[in-house]
Structure 1
Amino acid sequence: MVALSLKSMVKSMFGFSAISTNKAAVSVLVIASALLVSQVQAATNSSHHRTKKAHATKSSAHKSKAHVSKTAHAKLSKKSKHKVLAAKASKQHAAQLAEDTRPSAGDIAGLKHIDALALASNVAFVVDQDSSKVLFEKNAEVSLPIASITKLMTSLVVVEAKQDLNEMIEITNEDLDKEKGTGSRLAIGAKLSRADLLHIALMSSENRAASALGRSYPGGLPAFVAAMNAKAKQLGMNDTSYVDSSGLSSKNVASARDLVKLINAAYQYPLIREYSTDSKYAVNPKGKQLLEYGTTNKLVASSDWNIGLQKTGYIAEAGRCLVMQAIIEGRAVVMVFLDSKGKYSRLADAGRIKKWITAMHPEG
C-alpha cells in the first residue's frame, strides 16, 4: 500500500514509476520531501518579506505622519506665540492709552490747553537762563504733581550734604514702591555706591536708587525729606512741597516757576549735569549681574540738541513731565513742561519751542 502510494507520488512528480525497491522509494521520498520543504520555505520567506515590507511601509507612514504632526504643532506653537505677544503688546498699548487719557491734576484744575504754539503740555515755561527773561509762559504759576522731576532736588541735597559717593549702599525692602507698586531692576540685597545710585536715579529715573539715597541720609528718609523742603524754601520755591525722594507720590508738587529755580541751582554742580545728560551707563551690584541702563530722554543723544541738564518724570496724576537746560542759537535756555499727554509729546513740545526760538531769534 505504501509502495503503491510512493509509486503514485513518484509518477505524479517525476513522470515515471521505475521504482523497484523500498530503498529506492525512500530515496525518492527524501528528495521529494526536500523539494516540498524548499517550496514551502520559499513561500514562507516570500510571505515574511511581504509582511516585513508592509510593516516598514506602515512604520514609514507613521513616522511621516508624526513628522507632519510635529511640524504642524511647531508652526501652531509659533503662531500661538506671535498671537500671545501681539495680544500682550495690544494690552500694554491699551493700558498706556488709558493712563495717558486719565484725568491728571492739571485736567481736574481746568487748566487752559490752547496756546500760540499748540503745545501738548498743560504747563510750559521757557526762560533765558542768563537774563531770566521769560520767553514763553503757560500756566507757570500753578502747583502740580512733578513725578520724577523730584529727583533733581534729591540729587541737589545729596551733593550739597557732601556725602561719601564711594560708600556702598544696599537696596532693602524699605526701597520697594509701596505707592504705585512699580518694579525695579535693582533686586533686594543689591549693593551699589552712592555715586552709581545717583547716576541711574538722574539718568534712568531709577526709583529704588532714589529711595536708597534718601534712606541712607543721616536721620533716614524723614530727615532727607525735611532737607529737601528746607532747600526749596531757601531757593524761594514757595509753591513746592516734597514727601519722598523719588517722586512716586502725587503729593510732591511744584510750579513751573519754582522748577526753573531748582534747575538753575542744580546746574551749578558738574556732577548733576554729567549724570543727568549721560545716555548709557552700566552698574555692577555686588553679588549680582551687570546691569545696563539708558536715558529716559532720547534728546540727549541727538546731534540736534546741546543739553546741559535734564530730567523726565511721569505718574498718572502728573502726566508726562520734562525739564531741560539747553543751548539754542548760542543762548542758554531753561524750559519746563508739565502735564503733557502722550509718551513723546513733551519731547515734541521741546522741539516746538526750539524751532520757535530759532525762527524768532529773540534778543536777550
Structure 2
Amino acid sequence: MLLAMRIGGTFGSAVLIMTMLSTAPATAATQPEVAARAAYVVDSARTVHYSKRATRRAPVASLVKIMTAYVVLREARLSDVVTIKKADVRHAIVNGATSASLVKGERRTVEDLLHGLMLPSGADASNALARAYGPGRSAFVAKMNAAAKRLGMADTFYTNADGLPSRAYSTAADQATLTMAALANPTFRAIVSRRTYKIPGHTWRNSNLLLGSEGVIGVKTGFTTAAGFCLAFAADRGGRRIVGVLLGDQDQRRFRTAGELLDYAESRITGS
C-alpha cells in the first residue's frame, strides 16, 4: 500500500515523501497483530471483524470532532456564514492545539469550517462552530452528549468540541458507532474523503494517510499525550462499508494497522 506521508512538526514546514505502509496484506486466515490499546472493526452488516478492549473507556483526542461535525450538520446549513472571533483563534493558540489558521474577522461558511475542522483538525474551527451552534460551548457540548445518547453510545461523555485533554471519555466501539452514523451523511462523507480543500487565504490538507487506498473514505486522526495516536477509518469494500477505530497507537503504525485490518475484514467478507 503506497501512501504519502507528512513529515514535520505542527508548526514546521511539511515534506511529503512516499512510503510503503504495508508490504504484505493480511490474508483471510491471518488476523493482524494490533498493538493499539483498543481497537474495533465492524461492517455495515453489523459483522464484527476485530475487537480488542473495545468497550474500555478512554480519551479519544480529536476523534471528538466527528461528533462536532455530526451535530453541526444537524443544526446548520452549509451556506451559513460564521464570523471568526479573537476567542476562536486564541482557543487554539493557548491550548497548543492544531489549527486551521483562521484569522479574527474573516467570514467563513459552515462548509468551509467543517473542512477546517476535519482536515487539519482545527480547534479554532471547532470553537467557532460550537460558539455559533450551541449557541455557546456548554450548550453545544450538551447537544453532543444528547446525540451520543440517541446513537446508543452508552460509554461516551463529552466535555468539549475538540478533544483537548479533559475528563471526557469514549470507547473504540462507541466511536465506530458514531463514525458509521456520520458517514451516512453524504456531506460528511465528501469532506472526510478530501485530501485538500482550498479557499482564499487557506489550503487545508487531510492528515489521514490512508486516503488514496482502495475504497477508503476517511475519517479522522487524533492525538493527545493521554490518548496516544488515534484513528477512525473506513472503506467501502466487498460490497459493505467497513469502519474501524484504533485508540492509543503509535503515529505511523496506526495507518499500517488500519490498512491491514481493512484487508482482513474484506477477506472475511468475500471469503478470499
Q: Indicate the residue corresponding to 1:104 in structure 2.
A: none
Q: Indicate the residue corresponding to 1:154 in structure 2.
A: 68
What is the aligned counterpart of 1:320 among 214, 229, 239? Answer: 229
Query: CA separation in 2, counterparts of 1:273 and 1:249?
Result: 27
Query: CA separation in 2, counterparts of 1:318 and 1:236?
Result: 22
Q: Indicate the residue corresponding to 2:21 in structure 1.
A: none
Asked whether the equivalents of residues 222 and 229 of structure 2 are also in contact (C-alpha less than 8 Å), the reply is: yes
Query: CA separation in 2, counterparts of 1:146 and 1:225?
Result: 15
C-alpha spacing 1:340/1:197, structure 2 compared with 1 (3 Å): same
Residue 164 of structure 2 corresponds to residue 248 of structure 1: yes
Query: CA separation in 2, counterparts of 1:162 and 1:219?
Result: 12
Q: What are the equivalent positions in structure 2 for 1:310-349 lying under 5 Å apart? A: 310-341=219-250, 343-349=251-257
Q: Indicate the residue corresponding to 1:267 in structure 2.
A: 183
Query: CA separation in 1, counterparts of 2:147 and 2:268?
Result: 36
Q: What are the equivalent positions in structure 2 for 1:8-87 lying under 5 Å apart? A: none
SS at match of 2:194: coil
Q: Indicate the residue corresponding to 1:307 in structure 2.
A: 216
SS at match of 1:251: coil
Residue 28 of structure 2 corresponds to residue 139 of structure 1: no
What is the aligned counterpart of 2:97 among 182, 202, 209? Answer: 182
Q: Indicate the residue corresponding to 1:106 in structure 2.
A: none
Query: CA separation in 2, counterparts of 1:230 and 1:258?
Result: 14
Residue 245 of structure 2 corresponds to residue 355 of structure 1: no
SS at match of 1:144: coil
Deviations 1:283-317 (A, max 9, x none): 22xxxxx21111010221x2x32123411111111
Asked whether the equivalents of residues 171 and 186 of structure 1 are also in contact (C-alpha less than 8 Å), the reply is: no
Query: CA separation in 1, counterparts of 2:54 and 2:270?
Result: 20
Q: Indicate the residue corresponding to 2:208 in structure 1.
A: 297
Query: CA separation in 2, counterparts of 1:167 and 1:189?
Result: 12
Query: CA separation in 1, counterparts of 2:183 and 2:70?
Result: 9
Q: Indicate the residue corresponding to 1:202 in structure 2.
A: 118
User: Shift of the alpha carbon at 1:178?
Assistant: 7.0
SS at match of 1:247: coil
SS at match of 1:274: helix
Query: CA separation in 1, counterparts of 2:154 and 2:102?
Result: 34
Asked whether the equivalents of residues 157 and 228 of structure 1 are also in contact (C-alpha less than 8 Å), the reply is: yes
SS at match of 1:262: helix
SS at match of 1:157: helix
Q: Indicate the residue corresponding to 2:193 in structure 1.
A: 277
More strand by share: 2
Q: Considering only aligned residues, what root-mean-square deviation do their CA atoms show, in Å?
A: 2.4
Deviations 1:308-349 (A, max 9, x none): 3411111111111111221233332111111102x2111011
Asked whether the equivalents of residues 319 and 339 of structure 1 are also in contact (C-alpha less than 8 Å), the reply is: yes
Query: CA separation in 1, counterparts of 2:167 and 2:245?
Result: 19
Asked whether the equivalents of residues 64 and 163 of structure 2 are also in contact (C-alpha less than 8 Å), the reply is: yes
C-alpha spacing 1:231/1:116, structure 2 compared with 1 (3 Å): same
C-alpha spacing 1:181/1:361, structure 2 compared with 1 (3 Å): closer
Q: Under a length normalisation based on structure 2, what TM-score does the superposition of the two structures give?
A: 0.81
Amino acid at match of 1:348: R
- Larger mean CA deviation between 328-337 and 237-246 belongs to 328-337
Asked whether the equivalents of residues 88 and 125 of structure 2 are also in contact (C-alpha less than 8 Å), the reply is: no
User: Shift of the alpha carbon at 1:183?
Assistant: 5.8
What is the aligned counterpart of 2:108 among 187, 192, 204? Answer: 192
Question: Paired residues, what number?
Answer: 243
